């Protein structure tokens, strides 16, 4: 993403990826939605769109995308047996 590019609440996949990259030690399942909102609003390039305010469904979707992106960064499924 370029410096001048912005994104908003509906860019749930991008937000999940950015959270996974910027907060690798945080467990997304332990983050309250009020905290999640703050983490998203603190991302560089985030600009809320008044036409699309945040709601619980958006936060749930961001959380799911964050979990998936975090798994992808680790190299896949946690259930594997560790053999390569």
Residues 21-43: pLDDT tens digits?
A: 999 999 999 999 999 999 999 99
CATH number at 49 reads: 1.10.10.600
The answer to whether residue 81 sits within a structural domain is: no
C-alpha distances in Å from residue 38, one per residue of 2, 45, 46: 22, 14, 11
pTM, two decimals, is 0.83
Asked if the structure places residue 19 within a domain, the reply is: yes
Give dist(CA 62, CA 79) in Å, integer: 22
pLDDT at position 3, please? 58
Q: Which pair of tokens denotes residue 55?
A: 């709601």
pLDDT tens-digit map of 43-71: 999 999 999 999 999 999 999 999 999 99
Query: Is 5 inside any structural domain?
Result: no
């Amino acid at each position: 993403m370029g410096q001048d590019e912005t994104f908003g609440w509906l860019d749930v996949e991008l937000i999940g990826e950015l959270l996974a990259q910027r907060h690798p030690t945080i467990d997304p399942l332990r983050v309250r939605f009020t905290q999640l909102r703050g983490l998203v609003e603190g991302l560089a390039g985030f600009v809320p769109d008044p036409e699309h305010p945040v709601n619980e469904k958006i936060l749930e979707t961001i959380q799911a995308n964050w979990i998936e992106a975090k798994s992808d960064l680790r190299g896949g499924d946690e259930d594997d047996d560790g053999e390569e």
